[in-house]
Amino acid sequence: MVFDTTGPFSPANGTIDIVDPVVELKWFAGNDPESGIAYHRVELFDSTGLFLLHEEVVEETYLVLPPLEAGTYSWTVTAINGAGAGSIPSATWTFSVEPTLDTNPPGASILFYPPNESVIESDVIAFLWNEAPDDVRVVGYEIEINKQPTFENPVAWRIHTNEPKVTIRLPTRLHYWRVRPIDGGGNKGPWSETWSFEVRHPPVSAGPGEAFRIVTDSRFPPDQREGRRESLDLLKWRRDRPRGIRSSGSRPGQTPGTNRPHRQKRRR
């Protein structure tokens, strides 16, 4: 049996001047000389009596609440002894959180990926950075990606996201990027460091059952050249062909230097 009930201590009952949405509740500890106090149960309600929070606090006699919106709240504390029995709930205390204008900007973010001065063989890039520190709460981020490190207008990409990550498709070239956070008061933090990375086409992969490579045909002017696919069988034949046979584009079974197949002379 719990002999002494616990009771609120802070914030004072009816407090209406709390401007920081992070509130710390404090109370006097309960007392049970037989089995001791195992924990205190804290319950928080909104102005309509709707249950918002239930916390079991062991050893300590205070609880830091998550950020609260402007409004009126009430709370009680109940002591629970070692046998699991609870005291009579404390008196219900109220407090109000007043809206305030947040003028403090968040801190800078730290970039994670893509690494600085890296080469990415994919045109789909996942950007990652850390959650920026802030007195209240960061609600979004602004990321800029450009081909110039000075980010002069027009900026190629300016993206807003609610999370410290975003995935987009980019062209093959050198890119520069940076990030800055935005908090709930609309304050923009400083830009992060500027990092760079290069997007390249991935290597040409082999098709099912056959591998190919792209060969530039040097017999045509540069503006008329087209990539040619040459199978590995042909490339191997050119490598292992008998000496004295010219490599002029002839395939196995063709007359060297022509695109015509071998023809046997007919005897008369």
Domain 7-97 has CATH 2.60.40.1220: yes
Cis (ω within 30 of 0) for the bond into 114? yes
Tell whether the model's pLDDT for residue 188 goes beyond 70.
Answer: yes
State the alpha helices, DSSP H only, in the chain: 232-240
Q: Are 265 and 255 in contact (CB under 8 A)?
A: no
Q: Residues 139-183: pLDDT tens digits?
A: 889 999 999 898 887 778 889 998 899 999 999 999 999 999 998
Residue 44's pLDDT band (cuts 50, 70, 90): very high
Sheet holding 62-64, edge to edge: 7-10, 24-28, 62-64
Q: Who has greater pLDDT, 181 or 67?
A: 181
**The two three-digit tokens of residue 63, written as one number:** 């609880």
Regarding pTM above 0.75, the answer is: no
Degrees to nearest 5, angle at CA 122 with 148 and 112: 65
In the chain, CATH 2.60.40.1220 sits at 7-97
Q: Residues 4-43: pLDDT tens digits?
A: 455 554 456 655 545 555 688 888 888 888 888 888 999 9
Sheet holding 93-97, edge to edge: 15-18, 93-97, 71-81, 37-46, 51-57
**Rounded CA gap, 103 and 40, in Å?**
36
**Rounded CA gap, 78 and 105, in Å?**
39
Domain 111-199 has CATH 3.40.50.12780: no
pLDDT mean across residues, the chain: 76
In the chain, CATH 2.60.40.10 sits at 111-199
